[in-house]
């Protein structure tokens, strides 16, 4: 059996790790690397990341690569902005797995574009799916899977608590660490910081429970988590009263159920974990102590889902359409 | 949209609860009840279970019911013994969801029959799948789903601990409660007591991780859990030294991974829980405190999977082929 040929598009930290993982995968073949950054052009994985396995050289344009079976996109968080790249993939008849947060449920913010790309993907005979750890797993897919063991579901609460000290600097920036509260609120108001994909998780979870929320009904919020005392962080010192992270929520109520998602990502946050509480005819409670570590899990999701995406029906798909994507 | 018509076949405790649940489901229509027991013949759900909703009357033979879209089978644990019933369903072009433990991975014990029925199901254009809480979820599907967040998986341990005091009498009998150790060992040696489906769970999990165990490589064991002091149980008193339950294991090693499943079901067992430990590039740990309650979860699995089975490709399928079956 020939291994499917995989292109990894977008070689930021996640894309780079994903490419390294594909390169050593027993069932996938790394056959192209794409990134717009001129500094990466023509370089191999080993040149970008010492010790990485052999690979093709980076090309600047997806149109220039040869035929591939699967494209893993790690290029952006906004569905409309990656649409041109998705269409390049469709022209190549490549299945698409993307870390794009909005693509976890693309109809939430871009219903028309999602419908159009759905038709285009069906015409191209390939499936496209957004995945990751969050959105894509902890707050949506996993509670749906757990819920299959219950009837009469009424309430789902998912709590994800991340100690951001253990995470990359870009994530620490994204959650507002070291900012003043005023600065945080200004950036949050302009959607320049905060978690991407909360509304998508709420919707994906609700859809998995057979409900169909409208965008206006999905309520999200963001607030700063404030340091109670001076503390250190890789970005610099955080004085008491300054921001050490963020608290994001997503809610929806309808069709007899209520969904509450709570995400805390903060430097020095205690008791990191993923936790699901389902109220139903018989309640269910699930804990992942320490929580699912974001960066490595996103890479794993992309690679593992790439193996099963070919089994999905052509079209714009979600994690609710795919069979389980075990690790290999 | 017309609701799919559902037949529930086999009205023991699980089948009866399943039928009651289908009868009130918003997306399914209970259109037939089948049971061999003459005492149940011609009775409605309400006559079999006071307070149950309206239903058709029980018929003795699946051939006698009208057209149905889905058959939920709660008739037996052995795949070969339910094969005639499966073929009755195929003649009706009904999708099949079954609590049959061996059907969680029917190729383990009956590879030829599973292949033949696979072809027959494809010809009939319907899918057949075995599901439940165990096998079907806790020790196989759930660890596969969790593993999607990891790469480089090397070891999976699943521990399920059930306090049998909280369960039905038939389960207490099945685990040997109140027996002498000698009696337990004799019955266990003759496969007359013990958990059904351990080998199937090991294989389903391994397959979900891309490995293909042979039956002879899958090692299972059973041992009594002995009371340390006199205790009460719904079946009668258990003297110190007598059996209060069982300890079942399933193991497989190959393809660079090791799988260890441990199931303890005993009267008065402490710290009931489901627990998954994955050793990989980044370890993962999951706990369901109290454990997934067996009887209600099996009913939920049957009903929730019935809603998605129509989305599976025709043939003999497993939980690894189906999209997530959320609660409704």
Residue identified by tokens 């794009």 is: A100
- Chain mean pLDDT for chain A: 96
Contacts of A206 in chain B (CB under 8 A): none
CB–CB of A200/A207 below 8 Å? no
Contacts of A275 in chain B (CB under 8 A): none
Q: How many CB atoms lie within 10 A of CB B5?
A: 18
What percent of chain A is modeled with pLDDT above 90? Answer: 94
How much is the average pLDDT of A162-186? 91
Q: Where residue A191 falls among pLDDT bands split at 50, 70, 90?
A: confident
Each residue's pLDDT tens digit, B102-122: 999 999 999 999 999 999 999
Helix (H), strand (E) at residue A304: helix A294-308
- Chain mean pLDDT for chain B: 96
CB–CB of A303/A70 below 8 Å? no
Which residue of chain B has the CA closest to A282? B296
Cβ within 8 Å, pair A320-B323: yes
pLDDT at residue A1 tops 80: no
Contacts of B141 in chain A (CB under 8 A): 145, 324
Question: How close does chain B come to A79, measured CA to CA in Å?
Answer: 23
Each residue's pLDDT tens digit, A92-150: 999 999 999 999 999 999 999 999 999 999 999 999 999 999 999 999 999 999 999 99
Give me the helix-helix angle, B294-308 and B13-23, nearest 10°: 50
Q: How many CB pairs under 8 A join A and B?
A: 147
Q: State how far the Cα of A265 lies from the Cα of A161, in Å rounded to an integer.
A: 6
Each residue's pLDDT tens digit, A204-214: 999 999 999 99
Query: CB-CB: which of A142, A151, A292 is closest to B327?
Result: A151
Contacts of A326 in chain B (CB under 8 A): 144-145, 147-148, 208-210, 320
Q: For residue B268, what is the DSSP state?
A: T
Structure token pair of residue B217: 């490589």
Contacts of B150 in chain A (CB under 8 A): 296-297, 300, 327
Cβ within 8 Å, pair B148-A284: no
What percent of chain B is modeled with pLDDT above 70? Answer: 100
DSSP H helices, A108-190, are 111-124, 141-147, 169-174, 181-189
How much is the average pLDDT of B122-149? 98
Cβ within 8 Å, pair B328-A280: no
pLDDT, residue B1, reads 67
Each residue's pLDDT tens digit, A2-60: 899 999 999 999 999 999 999 999 999 999 999 999 999 999 999 999 999 999 999 99
Cβ within 8 Å, pair A282-B296: yes
Reported ipTM exceeds the 0.85 cut: yes
Delineate the domains of chain A, giving CATH numbers in brackets.
5-132+297-317 (3.40.50.720), 141-291 (3.30.360)
Which residue of chain A has the CA closest to B18? A151
pLDDT at residue B170 tops 90: no
């Amino acid at each position: 059996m020939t291994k499917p040929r995989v292109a990894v598009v977008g070689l930021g930290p996640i894309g780079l790790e994903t490419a390294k993982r594909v390169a050593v995968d027993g069932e996938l073949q790394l056959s192209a690397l794409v990134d717009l950054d001129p500094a990466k052009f023509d370089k191999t994985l080993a040149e970008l990341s010492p010790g990485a396995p052999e690979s093709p050289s980076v090309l600047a344009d997806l149109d220039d690569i040869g035929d591939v079976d699967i494209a893993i996109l790690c290029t952006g968080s906004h569905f409309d902005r990656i649409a041109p790249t998705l269409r390049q993939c469709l022209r190549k008849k490549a299945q698409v797995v993307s870390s794009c947060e909005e693509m976890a449920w693309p109809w939430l913010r871009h219903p028309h574009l999602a419908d159009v790309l759905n038709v285009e993907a069906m015409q191209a005979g390939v499936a496209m799916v957004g995945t990751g750890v969050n959105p894509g797993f902890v707050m949506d897919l996993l509670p749906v899977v757990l819920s299959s063991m219950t009837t009469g579901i009424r309430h789902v609460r998912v709590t994800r608590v991340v100690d951001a000290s253990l995470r990359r600097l870009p994530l620490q920036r994204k959650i507002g660490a070291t900012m003043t509260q005023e600065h945080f609120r200004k950036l949050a108001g302009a959607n320049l910081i905060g978690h991407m994909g909360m509304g998508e998780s709420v919707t994906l979870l609700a859809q998995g429970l057979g409900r169909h929320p409208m965008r206006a009904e999905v309520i999200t919020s963001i607030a700063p988590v404030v340091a109670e005392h001076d503390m250190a962080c890789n970005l610099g010192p955080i004085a008491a009263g300054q921001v050490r992270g963020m608290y994001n929520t997503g809610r929806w109520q309808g069709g007899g159920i209520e969904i509450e998602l709570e995400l805390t990502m903060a430097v020095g946050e205690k008791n990191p974990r993923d936790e699901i509480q389902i109220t139903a005819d018989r309640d269910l409670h699930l804990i992942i102590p320490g929580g699912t570590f974001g960066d490595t899990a996103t890479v794993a999701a992309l690679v593992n889902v790439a193996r099963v995406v070919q089994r999905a029906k052509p079209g714009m798909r979600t994690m609710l359409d795919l069979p389980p994507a075990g690790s290999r």
